[in-house]
Amino acid sequence: MSIAYRLSRVRASLPEEVTLVAVSKTHPAEAIREAYDAGQRIFGESRPQELKAKYEALPRDIAWHMIGHLQTNKIKYIAPFVALIHSVDSARLTEAIEREAARCDRTIDILLEIRVAAEETKTGWNLDELLRYVRTTPFAGMPHVRVRGVMGIATNTDDEAVVRRDFEELRRCFELLRPNFGARFDTLSMGMSGDYPIAVACGATMVRVGSSIFGERDYAHRA
Ligand SMILES: *Cc1c(COP(=O)(O)O)cnc(C)c1O
């Protein structure tokens, strides 16, 4: 099955208003080019240097999303062009993005990543900690950061009830936080290849789908 065919199948399974981020991490530029030629314009990557290299190699009308854990010292690789950072999980990172965005004289859209999954290994804010931070109105002093919504990852399990519970919790966090932000707080990023239909049923406005489009990742031979 070609990338174009798999992409069209994923696209057809999504309501029109749900934004598809094609997660291309570890896949070479030629694979992204194939999806691009089939009409896809939003791609997600999880490593800043890899993201930058692909940005430089591919057409300029691609919107690049950073979806993986981001270290403050690596923001500089993506700050000049990144369209959306999904994985903002601390005050320190938020403030570092503000500084890099100011340096590039641009506003960077971000999502607040919230941890709902059972696994301790998963990243993201704890909701109470995030609410405490938001109540100090830190974003008033960060004109180069625009908070667009919430991102999260469900527990990695075959138990659909657990996955649904995680997505419902993310939806609740999104609704709870929304009054603190303006009309542009409109993005709920949740759902991957294995669980995006459940995420959509729970209110996702954006899904991040990799292997269902590009095939399995081969970390040993990464681009
Ligand atoms: C890799 C990744 C995805 C895509 O995963 P697939 O299972 O390949 O669809 C989505 N979100 C995040 C945060 C990822 O790291």
Query: Which pLDDT tens digit goes with each residue over 2-32?
Result: 999 999 999 999 999 999 999 999 999 999 9
Using a 10 angstrom Cβ sphere, with 0-12 exposed, 13-18 middle and 19 or more buried, the burial of residue 72 is: middle
Decide: 205 and 16 in contact? Cβ < 8 Å: no
Give the per-residue pLDDT at 97.
98
Q: What is the mean pLDDT of residues 92-113?
A: 98
Residue 6 CB–ligand 1 contact under 6 Å: no
pLDDT at 44 over 90: yes
Single pTM value for the model: 0.96
Residue of 67, 84, 122, 163 best suited for mutating to test ligand 1, as the one with most atoms within 8 Å of CB = 67
C-alpha closest to that of 171 among 159, 155, 154: 154
pLDDT at 122 over 80: no
What Å distances lie between residue 86 and 21, 30, 124, 189, 190, CA to CA? 11, 24, 10, 8, 10
C-alpha to C-alpha distance for 24 and 32, rounded to whole angstroms: 7
153 C-alpha to ligand 1 centroid (Å): 9
| Ligand 1 centroid – CA 2 distance (Å) | 20
pLDDT tens column, 172-195: 999 999 999 989 999 999 999 999
**Does 46 contact ligand 1 (Cβ within 6 A)?**
yes
> Would the pLDDT of 223 be above 50?
no
Quote the DSSP letter at residue 114: B
Predicted confidence (pLDDT) per residue in 135-180, tens digit: 999 999 999 999 999 999 999 999 999 999 999 999 999 999 999 9
